[in-house]
Amino acid sequence: MARTPIICGNWKMNKRPDEAVAFARELAPKVAEFGNVERAVAPTFLALTAVADALRGTALQVAAQDGHWAAEGAYTSEVSVTMLRPYVSYVIIGHSERRAYLNESDENVNRKAKAILAEGLRPIIAVGESLAQNEAGETVEFVRSQVMAALAGISAADMAEVVIAYEPIWAIGTGRSASGELADRIIKSAVRDTVRELYDDAVADSLRIQYGGSVKPGNMEEFMSQPNIDGALVGGASLQVADFTALIEIAARVKG
Ligand code: 13P
């Protein structure tokens, strides 16, 4: 089954609104072609509406880096998925930095996923093991448990809107990426096959799964050549126009 690759730049806590808008304006025409690849950028909340306005009418989509499940209410500092709806197509949830530093739980990731789907948006659900878990041989079991928890109560029909990003924590921002083959193996056994058990072959075979963790122009082809990897969630390399453009070009060439 053909799956449209998706490359999403996660800007994390980088780029002020003026920088973010200038970057988006420079990037959009450079990636205007490549129709067979979805591409998105995820600015900070502070820059999100300005970037969405700057990109309106372009093929570059906007993602949020998080979103609260309640529509509104007494949740100081949070931004709801409902509020995000006019501005974004995707919402990243469960990023390991939020899980590690901000107590993001599997339960909240699941609540957020359901709220995102209920608003007609698409969640990018990030999962991945720590170095200690990896070295202890617990990767598949742990990632599988994250996938199961995140998807609890989500219908097979809604799964068509879900993207899962496998990001081994030890590969994030370290320059130490997993090999393409290893990432593909884990993605298949811990993510795609888990979804196959929870749903069916059709859902599993159409699910888009990204790899994330030190993805750069130099290793992108290796990841995109893998049968189970349908794109990338990119931190550092998404902060440079030339690098991010190259990633999209490579995805279009290899997967197209
Ligand atoms: P890096 O590409 O900087 O390793 O970050 C990956 C990531 O966490 C994307 O969400």
- Give the separation between CA 169 and CA 191, rounded to whole angstroms: 16
User: What pLDDT, in 10s, does the model give residues 184-195?
Assistant: 999 999 999 999
User: Exposure of 26 by Cβ count < 10 A (0-12 exposed, 13-18 middle, 19+ buried)?
Assistant: exposed
Task: Give me ligand 1 centre to Cα 200, in Å.
Answer: 30
With a 6 Å cutoff on the Cβ, whether 213 touches ligand 1 is yes
User: What pLDDT, in 10s, does the model give residues 102-123?
Assistant: 999 999 999 999 999 999 999 9
What is the domain partition of the chain in residue ranges? Answer: 6-232+248-255
Return the residue whose CA atom lies nearest to atom 1 of ligand 1. Answer: 235
Distance of CA 12 to the CA centre of its chain: 12
What is each CA distance from 54 to 43, 95, 216, in whole angstroms? 12, 26, 26
Distance of CA 151 to the CA centre of its chain: 15
Predicted confidence at residue 1, as pLDDT, reads 60
CATH class given for the domain over 6-232+248-255:
alpha beta
Give the DSSP H or E segment for 114.
Answer: helix 106-118
User: What pLDDT, in 10s, does the model give residues 201-234?
Assistant: 999 999 999 999 999 999 999 999 999 999 999 9
Predicted confidence at residue 174, as pLDDT, reads 87
Which position among 68, 95, 104, 119 bears the catalytic label?
Answer: 95
Does 167 participate in catalysis according to the annotation? Answer: yes
The low-confidence residues of the chain, meaning pLDDT below 70, are: 1
Predicted confidence at residue 176, as pLDDT, reads 83
Does 138 participate in catalysis according to the annotation? Answer: no
Q: Up-side HSE of residue 38: CA atoms within 13 Å toward CB? A: 20
